[in-house]
Structure 1
């Protein structure tokens, strides 16, 4: 596959099987349960959850699932993420370790509250 662009989250998921697919489904179900107000979208060719802006993205890599809660989502949980490879706005959850579902939920909820607290963007009428 040469960097395909999925048209939907379901299409993205269809490209994976077995344990990797199960891990994606776990993240998807968790995010939908924790933030039912958000909509699933594809952004930057990755599944993402969005309200007024994208809260988190996630994607499969060769040896991990990348979770992208923006810079604030990583910096706010710096201590809890010490055992994971992180960068400015990304966290790597290795395929050979259990997903930290509680931590993923906390980060996603933090991003939801952070975005909700921003002043609303008013549309011109």
Structure 2
């Protein structure tokens, strides 16, 4: 599904461009949802994935053959706090997988991004 021709992405748009239009549209929905949730966040490519930074790494997102992923850097408290909301999805230590054949839960994506932004900001303030 993803083209393997290019794997040294410089921009999020380059990453998106390696997928079919339908997948690009879904990735764009995730991107806009995170941007709207945390308008101050900076869009970056990290580990060859689209990501957002806000007082540290905030969230990574990506597309695969049969799912979309959201990944989070430590601390992984987001998985505990949203345990109930995440229960319908496959979850690992760092990642949530949303099946590609179902609508992406954008409201949940927004809540996760807002929670992580608050967590990063509080973490930064504690370090001062």
TM-score by length of 1: 0.90
Superposed displacement of residue 3, structure 1: 7.1
Instruction: Answer yes or no: is 1:4 the counterpart of 2:10.
Output: no
Q: Secondary structure at the match of 1:62?
A: coil
Residue in 2 that maps onto 1:111: 116
The question of whether the paired residues in 1 share the 8 Å contact of 2:55 and 2:124 is answered with: no
Instruction: Answer yes or no: is 1:30 the counterpart of 2:15.
Output: no
Q: Identify the structure with the greater helix proportion.
A: 2
The 1-side partners of 2:24 and 2:12 are apart by: 12
CA RMSD of aligned residues (A): 1.6
Residue in 1 that maps onto 2:94: 89
Q: Which runs of 5+ in 2 are unaligned?
A: none
The question of whether the paired residues in 2 share the 8 Å contact of 1:41 and 1:49 is answered with: yes
TM-score by length of 2: 0.88
Q: Secondary structure at the match of 1:56?
A: strand
State how many pairs are aligned. Answer: 122
Q: Which runs of 5+ in 1 are unaligned?
A: none
